[in-house]
Amino acid sequence: MIYCVVPKPLVGELYDKLRDYYENDPNVEVIIDRRQGDRRARGSSGGGMREIRDRRRRRATGSFLRVDVA
């Protein structure tokens, strides 16, 4: 799926034209950008639900036989 995102200030000018242009293409959907502000702005908590984790795999537990590589 390809999303053709139209910014709010250009909706009146572009949305209907793009929707009509891509109406026969099932792989394209024209949508309106409804974001209110930049989520990455300084001082923004970004929702405050972020969890920081160690992404490395845990080591397997138990004892293992030594393998000699020749």
* All structural domains of the chain with their residue ranges: 2-32
For the stretch 33-66, pLDDT in tens is: 988 776 666 766 666 777 777 778 777 788 888 8
Question: What is the reported pTM?
Answer: 0.52
pLDDT at 58: 77
Between residues 61 and 18, which one has the greater pLDDT?
18
| Residue 12 predicted with pLDDT over 80 | yes
Q: How far is CA 2 from CA 22, 30, 43, 45, 51, in A?
A: 11, 8, 32, 30, 30
| Residue 8 predicted with pLDDT over 90 | yes
pLDDT at 50: 73
